[in-house]
Amino acid sequence: MRSRAALPGFSSILFLLFLPPVFSSSSRPQWVLQRVPVVLAQQTEARSAPHFLSPARLDVSSPCDPECHKKALRPSYWDLRRLLAYETLNSDGQLTETAVAIYGYDPQTSPAYSSGSSGKAQRSHVRRKRQIFGHDGRFSISGQNYLLKYPFSVAVKLSTGCSGTLVGDRHVLTAAHCVHDGKNYVKGAQKLRVGFLKTKHRDTQASSFYLPSNFTNHVEGGHVPYAPPTNDKMKFQWIRAKRTHVPKGWIKGNANDIGMDYDYALLELKKPHKRRHMKLGVSPPAQRLPGRRVHFSGFDNDRSGKLVYRFCQAGEETSDLLYQHCDAQPGASGSGVYARMWDGRRRRWERKVIGVFSGHQWVERQGASQEFNVAVRVTPLKYAQICYWIKGNFVDCREG
């Protein structure tokens, strides 16, 4: 047990050890703003009320690996309009479907990322996996000084068991499978609630301990300093969701029989959450990410009531998916995958959500098993759609 007297000296050493990295102005990894297409709502029609019978699946998996996705036919303009059409579930149980039009987008010139090994994926049996790769590299974040501080404060818990990320004053980005199984809305989706960690009780006798004020920048750099146990007691404060948007690209069959390309959804809360949210960004190629690294925080089921942070290097990628080996457990799905880079226009470092953690893939490729954890990338089209859901207009969504 560390003595209280030893803590100040230890924290001073930490401050020296974990100074933020220094980049020259030319070598800083930067967000590149780009003109994005317009995804505009057209006619909206009422649909039959959902049944809300099946429980949410927290461990969605798919047998289609990177090569399988890369060999898929590129969707046409009309395919994209069908895939980006969306359903809206209201808290009163009413369901609508909205058709969309797309402007300023040419499917033939859209980027198709291809990296890594080649080989044919065999769509064979799928096994459940613990989603931990070797040593468990996750970190439980505790203490209100960190849990209530950005960027950890943007992580929220859904009443269906998943995680989500604050991306607007009253908007939460999550995975579609957290509210819809591919055939129908899951049990609890109509009365969906979003949980925010709040302070329940603080032991005033707890010892104080100083860590650098930019601690979150240090962990994003790959190092996590020692922090003693905290006596902070936390609880969830819940806010009801007013409506839920799900793209039709997800609603086309059983979630385990389709790709994860459209496994995202946006929730609108009944009232503002009054916290700082994280901006949405178009997912850059993995090689442009600092250290090729991605980050996300969520509420993994094996650490009940704890917020769990992790980071890892991004692996292979397709135009819609980002493969990585970040350790995760059911409950973390729906977490916002983010990166931190330099915003040249605002002259500051900025974190942006560039994907949604979806789930696990295990496949057999040429007789050898391969495993991945998968995030759905925020492509220019998805950015345009999600931004439209948040802003209610396309004018504020032209740059991502």
Told to judge if 333 belongs to the known catalytic residues of this protein, a careful annotator would answer yes
Tokens of residue 386, six digits: 């999600």
Strands 348-365 and 279-280: parallel
Detail the DSSP E strand segments found in the chain: 38-47, 61-62, 86-90, 95-103, 121-122, 139-141, 155-158, 163-166, 171-174, 193-201, 233-247, 265-269, 279-280, 293-298, 307-317, 321-324, 336-343, 348-365, 368-377
Strand partners, 195: 157, 238
3 classed as catalytic: no
Helices (DSSP H) in the chain: which residue ranges? 7-17, 66-70, 77-84, 144-147, 215-220, 380-391
Whether the CB-CB separation of 339 and 324 falls below 8 Å is answered with no
List 79, 136, 203, 257, catalytic entry: 257
Given 319, 333, 335, 358, the catalytic residue: 333
Alpha carbon distance 72, 361 (integer Å): 17
Q: What angle do CA 148, 397, 166 make, to 5 degrees?
A: 15
Catalytic residue among 177, 245, 273, 277: 177
Which tokens is 338 given? 């983010």
Phi and psi of 242, rounded to 5°?
A: -85, -40
* Residue-by-residue DSSP string for 237-294: EEEEEEEEEEETTT-SS-GGGS-STT--EEEEESS---S--PEE-PPPPGGGSGGGEE
CA dist., res. 177 & res. 162, Å (int): 9
Give, as one character, the DSSP assignment of residue 118: -
Instruction: Report how far residue 122's alpha carbon sits from residue 367's, in angstroms, rounded to the nearest whole number.
Output: 9
* Known active-site residue 110: no
**Residues with a known catalytic role:** 177, 257, 333
